[in-house]
Amino acid sequence: MNINWYPGHMKKTKESIQKSLVMIDIVFELLDARIPFSSRNPIIDELVGRKPRIIILNKADLSNPDGNRQWQSYFNEKGITSVLLNSLSGKGLDQLVDLARNIMAEKRVNNAAKGIINQPIRAMILGIPNVGKSTLINSLAKRKGAKTGNRPGITKTTQWIKTKGGIELLDTPGILWPKFEDPEVGLNLAYTGAIKDEILDTETLALKLLHKLCKEHPHLIQDRFQVPILDTEILQVMDSIGSRRGCIIKGGGIDYEKTARLILDEFRKGLLGRITLEKPEDVL
C-alpha cells in the first residue's frame, strides 16, 4: 500500500517556518502520543536547530499509559523536555506553560537587566496535520479562535495568538514530508487520520490495522466487537465485525467500506481502548 502525500502548500509552509524562527523564543513540537516516532517530521530537527524546544505528546488520553512512560523516558534520556497532554480536556496545559517559562527564565532575567520587562514568550507550534495544534491553541487561549476539525489541513496560514499564560503562539499549517522511507510510518499516519482518507484505500488500511491490533491487542478487539479472534483469518474477523454491526449490503453481503470506516473511526476515537502503536525499541 503506497502512501505519498505532499501538497504544494507544504513547501511554502517550510519556507515560512524558516523565516519565522528568528522571531521565536521556543518551539512546541506536537506529536501524536500513539505514534511518537511516525508523527515526528524529520525535517523539523533540521529547521529548528538548537532553538529551545518542548515535545508535546498530545492525545495522551488515547495512548497506552505504559507507552507514554516509555516515550517520555526516551525523550528525557535524549535531553529533550517532554510533556503529556490532552489538548481537548486541557490536562497538561499548566505543566506545559510552567516548562516553557522555566526554560526561558534565564533569557527573561537578562531582558529585565536591560530594562525589557513583561515581554511575552513567543512560541511556534509545529506538527503534522491533525495532531491537535488548533485545539491546543484554543485551550491555551481559552477561546474558539482557531479553526479545528478531525481532518488534516484545517490551518492554512500562520497566525499569532495571545494567551493568558504570557505566551504568544505562532500557529503554522501542518507539514508532512514528501516521501515515507519506512512504509510503516505512512501506515501509522494513515491509521491515526494524519493523511486524508479520501486519497487512501480505506478497506485495505482498515484490514491492515485490524491485523496489527488482533496480533498485539486481541483482547481489545474481542471485548469491543464481541467476535472470535484466535485461529481466525483477518478477513473473517472483519466479516464478523461487519455482520455484528449491521454493515450489510443488499443481498446480505458485507459492506466492507462501511465496516472499514467503522474500525478506523472507533480506533481514532479511542473506543477500542488506549493503544500505542509503536514503542521506542521497535522503531529506533
pLDDT tens digits for 77-132?
988 999 999 988 889 999 999 999 999 988 877 777 777 777 889 998 888 877 88
Q: For residue 194, what pLDDT is reported?
A: 84
Cell 506538527 belongs to 127
**What is the reported pLDDT for 9?**
56
- Cell 487561549 sits on residue: 141
Question: What are the residue ranges of CATH 3.40.50.300 in the chain?
Answer: 8-171
Classify residue 192 by its DSSP letter: T
Q: What is the pLDDT of residues 171-218, one digit of tens each?
A: 776 676 656 678 888 899 999 988 878 778 999 999 999 999 999 999
Which residue, 104, 97, 126, is CA-closest to 21? Answer: 126
What string of DSSP letters covers 121-166?
A: EEEEEEE-TTSSHHHHHHHHHTS--S---SSTT---S-EEEE-TTS
- CA torsion 81-135-39-3 (nearest 10°) is -170
Q: What is the mean pLDDT of residues 250-277?
A: 96
d(CA 78, CA 57): 15
User: How is residue 256 written as a grid cell?
Assistant: 466492507
Nearest-10 Cα torsion for 161, 162, 163, 169: 50
Burial class (CB in 10 A: 0-12, 13-18, 19+), 56: buried
- Cβ atoms within 10 Å, residue 40: 17
Q: Which fold has domain 201-283?
A: Conserved Hypothetical Protein Ylqf; Chain: A; domain 2 (1.10.1580)
Q: In the prediction, which pLDDT does 129 show?
A: 77
H helical segments located in the chain: 8-20, 42-48, 65-77, 93-103, 105-113, 133-141, 183-191, 202-216, 218-225, 234-244, 256-268, 280-283
Range list for CATH 1.10.1580.10 in the chain: 201-283
What is the number of other CB atoms lying within 10 angstroms of the CB of residue 282? 9
133/172 Cα distance (integer angstroms): 8
- Cβ–Cβ under 8 Å, residues 61 and 86: yes
What is the structure's pLDDT at 84?
97
Question: CATH homologous superfamily for 8-171?
Answer: P-loop containing nucleotide triphosphate hydrolases (3.40.50.300)
